[in-house]
Chain A
Amino acid sequence: MFRYIVKRLMEIIPIIFVVSLLIFFFIHLVPGDPVRLAAGKDATLEEITRVRQELGLDKPLLSQYATYMQNLLTGNLGHSLKTGLPISDMFANRFSITMNLTFMSLGWALVLGLLIGTVSAVFRNKWPDYVGMLTAISGISLPGFWLGLILIQIFSVTLGWFPTGGVDGWKSYVLPSLTLGAGIMSMLARFTRSSLLETLKEDFIRTGRAKGLKESVVVRKHALKNSMIPVVTIAGLQFGFLLGGSVVVETVFSIPGMGRLLVDSIAFRDYPVVQAVILLFSLEFILVNLLVDILYKALNPKIRYES
């Protein structure tokens, strides 16, 4: 197992390197001079030259990349062109908000997805199955921003149960996390159903039934437990979907998270921030995928680590 973890860690290092390289060079391809933005509209030529030197943008691109990587390794993400603040300071609060949102969404998605998928599998080809699967395919097809606006209209504006936006206590996460989790919930429901249907065909299930166990015990204790590993794996692998979706959901609900920061920074052409947010999201996605991969192998004794 240790060897496997080391091998996988070694595999992601070049990927992280190429990702950082791509983000750095692509951001530098963007038309327009970031220095003019940082120096302000009325800046003189001398001021622009001074700011360019301060930001290190007068050096060759490769040298800039080396400095960038050096800073990155010491946790220095650079400064915002808009506010002049260190980007890591800007991230501090926003990162935890986005994490709260994504993990709460994943929680909803797991609970509801497993429930709908299990009911659908147990009542295969009966009305609960049709309703469950219709809900699932609808959930995959719903635009997140539309669902969010509908939820705001019903539960915030009409019923007044939840705030319309912003972050103020756990209540403000309910509607955004439901919106963000809808897509994954639907995927998990479909996947749980098919995984459970496969497991219900296995010999040990027949044995359980032959022993006279109740159907609910067979499903809950034997079938569901054995169907869980691939389902949880899919949940982890869909984490990137949540990170991408958080950009839209944070915009709809005016949540001051990382996604909202990305959209605002794109609008202002604050490229150091855009670069840092995309890099952080990608790193997070790579690491979550790695973690899921390791957990999958650890939980599933059928898989040989060497393979």
Chain B
Amino acid sequence: MEVVNEVGQATVVTLDKQSSRAREFWKKWKKQKTAFWAGFFILFLVLVAIFGPVIAPYDPYEPNYDATLQTPSLAHWAGTDEYGRDILSRIIVGAGLSLGVSFTSVFVGAVIGTILGLCSGYYGGWIDRLIMRGSDVMFAFPDLLLAIAIVAILGPGLTNVVVAVAVFSIPSFARLIRGNTLAAKEAVFVEAARSMGAKSSRIIFRHIFPETVSSMIVFFSLRIGTSILAASSLSFLGLGAKPESPDWGAMLSMGRDYLATSPHVVMIPGLAIFLSVLAFNLVGDGLRDILDPKTKN
């Protein structure tokens, strides 16, 4: 019975510690005013991305040749494109595509990069050398160029864009997590776990991994902005989403022929990309100031 109580108390203490950490984080977060409001904007974007097909006022794919290239009005708040499709509806539905592609690609890159970084930092030796030389090779390709090369090989399409952006995210995450792992593996609690006979996998995932989470969250949010830009650049070049899809980069690419006569066709999708990337960068900056201030420079 006593054992149960001890376990119970330990759980209560851990939960208390977690909730006080969360409270402390929230207090600091509220002080980061720009990042705080940018966070609300991202929340809004995520809701739009999820409920896009339901809340879009018009069918984003349905052409209306009687209403082509209309300027913003009460009927079409963001105007219409060259096929008479409602731009606002396309932006709303496109939010799901743009955020989905960038989030998935960074998530995949983060998972693979983190595992590689943890193994590289923890085991050292030939594993470290192999992974780090692999990263060096990947870093030899400029980011966007690597993505273009991958899409050139795999062929155009959003799935391949996800693969391309994920691949160029892997070495950055691996380097970051390796650095954190090297620092964490010298900590006393890791030494204690090792001397108690804990398995390497348990030490890596149970003790070292939590120490790397702060830096990872910060880098993750900054990386989402980069990947929105990369994915939309690929779509703009005709290597990503299909031209008719409501992807923001593809919309901009299709609309550029009408820049002189109907600038809204280009301005509105561009603004959507810009504001989303800006919001993720501001949130990333704010998170870094709270969670990982030593990397600010």
Q: Using a CB–CB distance below 8 Å, which chain A residues touch chain B?
A: 14-16, 18-19, 22-23, 26-27, 29-31, 137-138, 140-146, 149-150, 152-153, 157, 191, 194-195, 198, 240-241, 243-245, 247-248, 251-252, 262-263, 266-267, 274, 278, 281-282, 285-286
Contacts and interface: CB of A to CB of B under 8 A. Distances in A.
B149 A26 contact: yes
Interface in B220-270: 225, 229, 232-233, 236-239, 249, 252-253, 256, 259-260, 263, 266-267, 270
A93 B148 CA distance: 23
A282 B236 contact: no
Nearest to B263: A153
21 contacts: A15-B140, A19-B140, A23-B149, A27-B153, A30-B152, A140-B225, A142-B274, A143-B233, A143-B252, A143-B274, A145-B233, A145-B252, A146-B252, A149-B252, A150-B270, A157-B259, A240-B142, A244-B143, A251-B237, A266-B151, A286-B140
Contacts, number: 128
B148, B260, B263, B277: residue with the most chain A Cβ atoms closer than 10 Å = B148
Given A244-B144, A278-B141, A153 B152 contact: no
A161 to B, nearest CB: 16
Nearest to A186: B281
Given A278-B141, A278-B149, 13 more contacts: A15-B137, A16-B140, A26-B153, A141-B277, A142-B274, A143-B229, A149-B252, A150-B267, A247-B144, A262-B148, A266-B152, A267-B238, A285-B140
Nearest to A30: B153
B86 interface: no
By secondary structure, the A interface counts as helix
Nearest to B279: A141
A144 B263 CA distance: 17
Nearest to A230: B297
A146 B144 contact: no
A150 B133 CA distance: 41
Given A146-B266, A153-B263, A141 B225 contact: yes
Interface in B262-293: 263, 266-267, 270, 273-274, 277-278, 281-282, 285
A125 to B, nearest CB: 14
Contact of A281 (B142, B152, B281): B142
Nearest to B239: A266
A153 B277 CA distance: 23
Contacts of A274: 149, 152
Nearest to A22: B137
By secondary structure, the B interface counts as helix
Contacts of A244: 142-145, 148
Nearest to B142: A240
A19 B149 CA distance: 12
B291 to A, nearest CB: 18
A29 B152 CA distance: 11
B225, B233, B266, B281: residue with the most chain A Cβ atoms closer than 10 Å = B233
Contacts of B144: 241, 244-245, 247-248
Contact of B297 (A29, A142, A194, A245): A194
A250 to B, nearest CB: 10
Contacts of B273: 143, 146
B152 A149 contact: no
A137 B145 contact: no
Nearest to A266: B152
Contacts of A245: 144
B136 interface: yes
Given A19-B137, A146-B270, A195 B297 contact: yes
Given A22-B137, A247-B145, A286-B140, A153 B260 contact: yes
B296 interface: yes
A267 B239 CA distance: 9
Given A143-B233, A143-B277, A266-B148, A240 B270 contact: no
Interface in B157-175: none
A149 B142 contact: no
Nearest to B266: A149
Contacts of B285: 137
B142, B148, B259: residue with the most chain A Cβ atoms closer than 10 Å = B142
A244 B165 CA distance: 13
A247 B152 CA distance: 13
A251 to B, nearest CB: 6
A130 to B, nearest CB: 10
Nearest to B270: A146
A240 B285 CA distance: 23
A274 B142 CA distance: 15
Contacts of A150: 267, 270
A26 B141 CA distance: 14
A157 B260 contact: yes
Contacts of B149: 23, 26, 274, 278
A297 B253 CA distance: 44
A247 B148 contact: yes
Contact of B142 (A142, A243, A263): A243
Nearest to A286: B140
Kindly list the 3 A-B residue pairs having the minimum CB-CB distance in the complex, ordered from nearest. A244-B144, A240-B142, A146-B270
Nearest to B134: A18
Contacts of B232: 143, 145
A282 B270 contact: no
A22 B153 CA distance: 12
A109 to B, nearest CB: 15
A81 to B, nearest CB: 14
A178 to B, nearest CB: 16
